[in-house]
Structure 1
Amino acid sequence: MSTMRELLVINPNTTTAITETLTSLVRASVPADVRVHAVTAAFGAPYISDETAYAVAGHAALKAWQQASLARATPFDGVIVGCFGDPGLFALREAAHCPVTGLAEGAIQEAIRRMADSLPTGKARCAIVTGGAAWGPMLRKLLPTLAGGERVAAIETVALTGAQLRADPAAAAALLVQACRKVRLEHGADAIILGGAGLGGLAASLQEHIDVPLIDSVLAAARQVWFAPPSAGQGMPAWL
């Protein structure tokens, strides 16, 4: 008799539509022995677009994990932070008893794996394309803290946010293809990450327009969570 693996997906913003998108994409991509649970942050911003919202999202993600864990008799087997920025990742990795990754870290690891299939020298570089200009500097600060972050050659943002891109597929396709071609031409990217929950599911439809692998950050995290660095399993501090 097979044992189910229990995977928790945390949306660290308060928009339930994003949670629904994450849940649908992850459930459609995981093996049959993985059961997906999803939670939405109980407080914070509806969209994370600045450092304040990002800081609060880390706290909200940690509390969401705590509350979801307390409702269970056994620990989760994996946790995904469903934001391309991974708020709360390292706190969750300290507290949880299972592998934890975020959309950014998971996508970078997936890109490295995909690039190694054709470029095994380790010299290949990927690029990130995402929505919302504010994310450019925020991601540049995050990358040095993530495993494989040094393999990212460029970050390109488009003016529309992830939610706006998802709401207008035609505009999204044009903007994202243009941005992908730019990082391919100007930075020689060997793989391109489409970062963010709002961009989830778009890579497959855009791949025919780009001559290097496009990485869907949501699907990548769902695959890579099981290979994430070990967690410390310290649990939540008593004062929180």
Structure 2
Amino acid sequence: MTSLIVINPNSSQAVTDGIDAAIDPLRRFGTPIRCLTLAEGPPGIENQMQADLTIAPMLKLAADQRDAAGYVIACFGDPGLHALRHQTALPVVGIQEAAVMTALTLGQRFGVIAILSASIPRHLRAFGAMGVMERLAGDRALGLGVAELANKDRTLGAMIDAGKRLRDDDGADVLIMGCAGMAGFRTELEAETGLPVVEPCQAAVSMALGQIALKMSHRPREQRDA
């Protein structure tokens, strides 16, 4: 049976395990889902250079998955998204793109919780390319690297603070968690802020499963079947 392949482009198995737990409720729809860690990736993707350097090994890892029905790139920033879409006719979904598209259905203005200030310009370039800057309320950084997110109490406290500032100061009415390493905090963040919260891996896997079920992808059917 074919599987949806979720690729974590960093080398942290702990992050991959968190992604796997977050998307587990979506396995009830029947399509097998496999979460993979890119061994060649950095421990955390925190800037544009690190993101770009993961693309070539990520493309190879994706090509090696002979049972793939589709792919999710599980890094906020979607490194290699368009390259992988060029490589395969199967559905390919990036978690950043999917999170924003999902947030736009849940509120008028979305706020993003980033890990570091250095991540924000990368986010803004993507939002500009998507044409959604007028719907962006704000993008606030925790000041924590990917590895530091493992400190759950510290991370949750910082996320709640950032979420409330996005709500009260920036006018966000829906929040996006801007890193796959935040996957386990959605329930608590929703409870503390009173806002809908988009966990990007859940958003992307949901979208990919729909595309697989409906036999949709970024290429027309005649190109896929050629």
TM-score (norm 2): 0.86
Match of residue 192 from structure 2: 209
Match of residue 151 from structure 1: 135
Comparing 126-135 and 22-31, the one that deviates more: 22-31
Distance 2:2 2:130 in 1: 25
Aligned partner of residue 155 in structure 1, secondary structure: strand
Match of residue 124 from structure 2: 140
AA in 2 matched with 1:83: C
Distance 2:41 2:34 in 1: 20
Q: Does 1:129 align with 2:116?
A: no
Q: Does the 8 Å contact 1:95/1:232 carry over to 2?
A: no
Aligned partner of residue 113 in structure 1, secondary structure: coil
Superposition deviation, residue 153 in structure 1? 2.6
Find the partner of 1:14 among 1, 7, 11.
Answer: 11
Unaligned runs of 5+ in 1: 116-123, 236-240
Superposition deviation, residue 227 in structure 1? 5.3
Find the partner of 1:174 among 157, 166, 177.
Answer: 157
- Give the alignment of 1:154-233 within 5 angstroms: 154-165=138-149, 167-226=150-209, 230-232=217-219
Q: Does the 8 Å contact 1:96/1:231 carry over to 2?
A: no
Distance 2:24 2:13 in 1: 16
Comparing 188-197 and 11-20, the one that deviates more: 11-20
Q: Does the 8 Å contact 2:45/2:146 carry over to 1?
A: no
Distance 1:22 1:58 in 2: 20
Distance 1:65 1:149 in 2: 31
AA in 1 matched with 2:217: P
Q: How many residue pairs are counted as aligned between the two chains?
A: 218
Distance 2:158 2:62 in 1: 35
TM-score (norm 1): 0.81
Q: Does 1:95 align with 2:123?
A: no
- Note the alpha carbon deviations across 1:71-123, whole angstroms, 9 max, x for none: x4xxx2221101111101111122222221112111112111222xxxxxxxx
Q: Does the 8 Å contact 1:22/1:218 carry over to 2?
A: yes
Distance 2:84 2:129 in 1: 15
**Percentage of matched positions with identical amino acids:** 27
Superposition deviation, residue 5 in structure 1? 5.8
Q: Does the 8 Å contact 2:44/2:146 carry over to 1?
A: no
Match of residue 82 from structure 1: 74
Aligned partner of residue 101 in structure 2, secondary structure: helix
Tell me: CA distance 1:231–1:13, structure 2 relative to 1, closer, same or farther (3 Å).
same
Match of residue 25 from structure 1: 22
